[in-house]
A and B are shown apart, each in its own frame.
Chain A
Amino acid sequence: MSQDWEKMLRKKMEDYSELPPENLWEDLENELFPEEEKKQFVFLKPTQLSGNKSYLNIVFRAAAVVLIVLSAKSIITFPSKSIHYTKAETNEVVLPKPTFKQTLDTKEKSFISRKESFGSKTEPKVETEFLEKLKNKEESIFDLPEPLKPLLATKETRFSLPTSLDVAQEVFSAEKRKKKWVASVLAGQVASTASHQNSGYTSMSSTPLGAYTTALGNSVLTILERTSKEDISTKIKHRSPIQFGVGVQYPLSEKLTINSGLLYTKLVSELESGSDSKYINSVQTLHYLGVPLQMNYTFFEKKKLSAYSSIGVTAEKNIGGKVENHYRLKPIIEEVSTKKIEDKSIQLSANLLVGVQFKINNNVGIYLEPGLHYYVPNSSKAATLYNEKPFLVNTRMGLRFTLNN
């Protein structure tokens, strides 16, 4: 019972407030936020995961150029796109013009009427000038001119001005509502490889070479004839595909985004039959260019880390390939021949991924996407990893850039 008056007093004084000391913020600002230099734009290049061929270097350099162009674009578009809410800074707060202005208009009106009812002693000129500037975003409500400051002291008039919480609300929903275009660059590594062994001489697709007699060259036929009685086996190995890609991402809603782009994949398969003195050796290289379509759903987001699940399809087309064959039958045959592969088939695949993204700064994020891919069997005659193992586990990693932040 004797507690009641204490409780009542506490409750009554709960949000009691007084005019803060003059220049307190200015002094704090000088102490905590001395003149900041423009932030440096630091970015990483996607790591080269494997491969030592010169072709890869060209692709890699192209990816680096794309990276540079994208990041240059982000830097260049900074000043022109941002709307200055407070005094000029690098890290601007962007507000959507229509909604905030509405809030401001209605609050302006009530501010003026409130002020009048409170018999403010300020000069009308100061106020209207200030309100004008506020409308044109030349001034910030955080920087009330001196004569108007007493109005902050009373709760009633404070509510007439857009409070910092209004601003905060606007800022946060604006940041969320604004659709950000995101570009990405990826380098992928497929975890699975496939290899197996056949007996006798076979082709890359594991068909015994004997079946091709009419199509084979003399060298091969000779090798076949001379060694038919021996114990020969063919080893076929499909190496891990290497992927590079660029993409663009567009948000459909707060958690859902779709992305598409271009994906380059290189498939290499090796065949080895025979022994040291009589063998057939082939290296098949296939290049694909594909268009992926993914839908990402972000299910976790906190500070700098976010996680998402993704589902998508990709259509890839073979854009070139070659087979390099090496035949040896000592001492008579030593031949290397290269044949171009032309394959018009389209490789479709579907995937289910889980991704984790880490924000390096406001505009750049690094991501890791392990996932399951299914390669739809097609009519392609080329023997690839996809034929052998349609289900593949793949981990992609890359960088994402926010373009219009």
Chain B
Amino acid sequence: MIDDKKIEQKIAERLLEKDRIGWKMLYSEYSAYLTGVCSRYISEKEDIKDILQNGFIKMFHNIEGFEFRGDGSLKAWMRTIVINEALKLLREKKKVDFKTVDFEGLEIAEENQEPDFNYISKSKIQELISELPLGYRTVFNLYVFEEKTHREIAEILEIGESSSASQFHRAKNILAKKIKDYKLFNARVV
């Protein structure tokens, strides 16, 4: 792609001026990415919009506190803010009681499969992940994409550490099965 290295830093510096052009640049470059991140956690369009809006506003007001620490640090900072907003919304709306373990995946609870994400498109992967029950999905996302430990997830979601581990385990297995089924019935390389 383009040489992002110095550009990311310059955009970050420009943001401090808090002018429309600088922030529109930021929005144009990262809003699609952040929408992708957000929709991993939340399915309702309206909620996604609220979360992203609150996220950007939070970024705007906290930009002075941001310190550029090399490539990707701006992106990571933004992502953290958006995810926190998403989790906040999930907690507030009490959409899910993370403590409750969903029994849907019980029949494959004992398996230990590894999902194979080769030969399957990104949007399909995203779709399959969002089909996971909310509790599993959140744990799965935090573990795989945000690389949180089960202890950290337990703290964030206010569940037990072992609950986090077992929910992740189930999520992984469900996903593995979904992928297998998909490949089997579609046999298409996208």
| B147 nearest in chain A by CB position | A10
B117 lies within 8 A of A9 (CB): yes
In the assembled complex, 7 residue pairs joining A and B whose CB atoms fall closer than 8 Å, in A order, are A5-B117, A17-B35, A20-B52, A28-B57, A33-B23, A93-B21, A165-B7
- Alpha-carbon distance A276/B145, docked complex (angstroms): 91
Question: 1/0 contact trace for A93-126 toward B, CB 8 Å?
Answer: 1000000000000000000000000000000000
CB distance from B163 to the nearest CB of A (A): 19
Shortest C-beta distance, B46 to chain A (Å), equals: 8
B80 at the interface (CB under 8 A from A): no
Contact check, A20 vs B35: say whether CB atoms are below 8 A apart. Answer: yes
Contact A168 B11 (CB under 8 A): yes
Counting chain B CB atoms within 10 Å of each CB, the highest count among A12, A17, A142 belongs to A17
Q: Collect the chain A residues with CB atoms within 8 Å of residue B115's CB.
A: 5, 9
Instruction: List A residues at the B interface (Cβ < 8 Å).
Output: 2, 5-6, 8-10, 12-13, 15-22, 24-25, 27-29, 31-33, 36, 86, 89, 91, 93, 142, 152-153, 158-159, 163-169, 172, 303
Chain B positions 139-155 with a Cβ under 8 Å from a chain A Cβ: 143-145, 147
Q: Is there a chain A Cβ closer than 8 Å to B116's Cβ?
A: yes
Q: Of B24, B35, B116, which contacts A21 at CB under 8 A?
A: B35
Q: A172's contact among B7, B27, B53, B145, by CB below 8 Å, is which?
A: B7
Contact call A32/B126, Cβ cutoff below 8 A: no
B190 at the interface (CB under 8 A from A): no
Which of A12, A32, A153, A172 interacts with B125 by CB under 8 Å? A12
Segment from B12-20, B87-95, B96-104, B180-188 that makes contact with A: B12-20
Do residues B144 and A10 form an inter-chain contact, with CB atoms below 8 A? yes
User: Do A9 and B52 touch across chains, with their CB atoms under 8 A apart?
Assistant: no
Q: How far is the CA of A21 from the CA of B1 in the complex (A)?
A: 25
Task: Give min CB distance, A108 to chain B, whole Å.
Answer: 17
Q: How far is the CB of B67 from chain A (nearest CB, A)?
A: 13
Convert B104-126 into 0s and 1s, putting 1 for each residue whose CB lies closer than 8 angstroms to a CB of A: 00000000001111100011011
Which chain A residue lies CB-closest to B2? A165
A165→B74 CA distance, assembly (Å) = 14
- Chain B residue, CB-CB nearest to A153: B32
Partner among A22, A27, A36, A93 whose Cβ is within 8 Å of the Cβ of B53: A27
User: Is B77 at the interface (CB under 8 A from chain A)?
Assistant: no
| Across-interface contacts of A25 in B (CB, < 8 A) | 24, 27, 31
A272 vs B167: C-alpha distance in the bound complex, in angstroms? 96
Inter-chain contact A303/B27, CB cutoff 8 Å: no
A93 contact set on B, CB distance < 8 A: 21
Cross-chain contact A20 with B31 (CB below 8 angstroms): yes
Interface of B is mostly: helix
Q: Which chain A residues border B52 with CB–CB below 8 Å?
A: 20-21, 24
B117: which of A12, A15, A18, A153 is its contact (CB, 8 Å)?
Answer: A12
CB distance from A156 to the nearest CB of B (A): 12
**Contact between A10 and B25 (Cβ–Cβ < 8 Å)?**
no
A168: B residues at CB distance < 8 A: 7, 10-11, 25, 29
- Asked whether B23 lies within 8 Å of A32 as measured between CB atoms, the reply is yes
B126 contacts A15, CB within 8 Å?
Answer: no
The 9 A-B pairs at the shortest CB distance, nearest first, are namely: A17-B32, A164-B28, A21-B49, A20-B31, A18-B35, A33-B20, A18-B36, A164-B29, A17-B36
Judging by beta carbons under 8 Å apart, are A13 and B29 in contact?
no
Complex CA–CA separation, A25 to B31 (angstroms): 9
A294–B115 CA distance with the chains assembled, in angstroms? 69
Tell whether B60 is near chain A: CB-to-CB under 8 Å: yes
A28 to B126, CA, bound (A): 26
State whether A152 touches B144 (Cβ < 8 A): no
* Given A16-B126, A32-B23, also A163-B29 (CB < 8 A): yes
Distance between B169 CB and nearest chain A CB, rounded to angstroms: 11
Q: A13-B126, A20-B32 are in contact. List 11 more A-B contacts (CB 8 A).
A: A5-B114, A8-B118, A10-B147, A13-B125, A16-B36, A18-B126, A25-B31, A29-B24, A163-B29, A164-B29, A165-B1
Distance between Cα atoms of A12 and B11 in the complex (Å): 25
**Are the C-beta atoms of B27 and A18 separated by less than 8 Å?**
no
Q: Is the CB of B25 within 8 A of A164?
A: yes
Q: What distance in Å separates the Cβ of A34 from its nearest Cβ neighbour in chain B?
A: 10
Q: Smallest distance from the beta carbon of B150 to chain A beta carbons, Å?
A: 13
**CA A164 to CA B7, docked complex, whole Å:** 11
**How does the 8 Å CB contact mask read for B148-184 relative to A, with 1 for contact and 0 for none?**
0000000000000000000000000000000000000
Min CB distance, A22 to chain B, in Å?
Answer: 8
Pick the most buried of B1, B16, B117, B143: most chain A CB atoms within 10 A of its CB: B117
Expressed in whole angstroms, the Cα–Cα distance for A12 and B36 within the complex equals: 13
Q: How far is the CB of A366 from chain B (nearest CB, A)?
A: 19
**Residues of the A chain whose Cβ atoms lie less than 8 Å from the Cβ of B123:** 16
Bound together, the chains give a CA A32 to CA B55 distance in angstroms of 12
Chain B residues near A8 (CB, 8 Å)? 117-118
